[in-house]
Amino acid sequence: MGAHMAQEREHGVDPEAAHAAQVRELAAAGVLRDPVWRAAFAAVPRHVFVPWFFTGRGAGHERLWGEDPDPARRARWLRGVYSDEPLATRLRDGELVSSSSQPSLMAKMLSALDVRDGHNVLEIGAGSGYNAALLCHRLGDGLVTTVDLDPDIAESARAHLAELGYHPVVIAGDGARGAPARAPFDRIIGTCSLPRIPHAWLGQCRPGARVLAPLSTGLIALRVRDADFAEGGFQHTPAYFVPLRGSGAAPGAPAGGIPYELLANERFQFMLLLTAGALHPREALDLWRREGRPARERFGVTVTRGGQWSWLDDPQGPYVWPLGESGQSG
């Protein structure tokens, strides 16, 4: 890609400058307060992991790529790569199956993961490999394992990582089953949306481990006590991810009787999805209003061998709901 990068500079788009500008923007936004993570973002260029991406939806999507013979389109590609936006990297029959997450959200999640030197980390959802590269820079290759269901995606991530000299363990497999041969883990991070927490993860964690994963439209941070129990609350940050494929769709939230302006309310949508199957929409609406339109941080999740529950304010009640059935693991 080096020859094309030189041509980009000739057309006023410098990849190194674009990368540096993004790091400055993320720092200015307050998401790179930890100098270790700022150094990681500065060391790992996103464009290596996103050689192409798609804009638009369905049959109307457009592919932008770094090897396009048109310098203007290459410039559009590079500007897109260094925007603070999620990028669609894999489509199948017009449906999104893999993406490169929004960099600012990645930074927030890595900070919330609370990684320490020597921690063994499992990532569920290898995607482009970009997040794994950041973890490798922070921890070293030997302490990072990343899993993706799709062998092509896993191999592509492996190749992108190797291009920059990173060699974590990349597994093509069922993310809900974790990576038992690489356990025990101190941290597990999910980069795909879950309907509930795969119980197998708990048994692969050390006591006191932290699990951070997208659930509903939020990020749940669980402390693992042992193979049979984990509990924790939601972060403030909204989070939208491609679902964990093979695990079954997250339970839908019926919208009957809910005013459109509330369905468009991001915080209410979070609660509606989190309690789907346990509360009727009108019940969810009444509770949401009665409790003062609760923010994400007031909700939490408990995971046991016997089941999984979401709750408001207190895991002992009075507002506790079973999470949806998990379906097939993926």
Active site residues: 98
The pair phi, psi for residue 228, each rounded to 5°, is -115, 0
Asked if 194 and 219 touch (Cβ cutoff 8 Å), the reply is no
What is the torsional sign of CA 234, 296, 213, 132?
negative
From the list 217, 219, 92, 212, the residue with the least C-alpha distance to 153 is 92
Cα-based distances in Å from 218 to 16, 64, 191, 237, 268: 33, 30, 12, 6, 12
What is the torsional sign of CA 322, 325, 329, 330?
negative
Whole-angstrom Cα distance, residue 306 to residue 244? 22
Tokens linked to 184: 């025990």
Tokens linked to 217: 């439209």
Q: Strands, DSSP E only, in the chain?
A: 52-55, 62-65, 87-92, 95-100, 121-124, 144-148, 169-172, 185-190, 205-215, 218-226, 229-234, 299-304, 307-312, 320-322
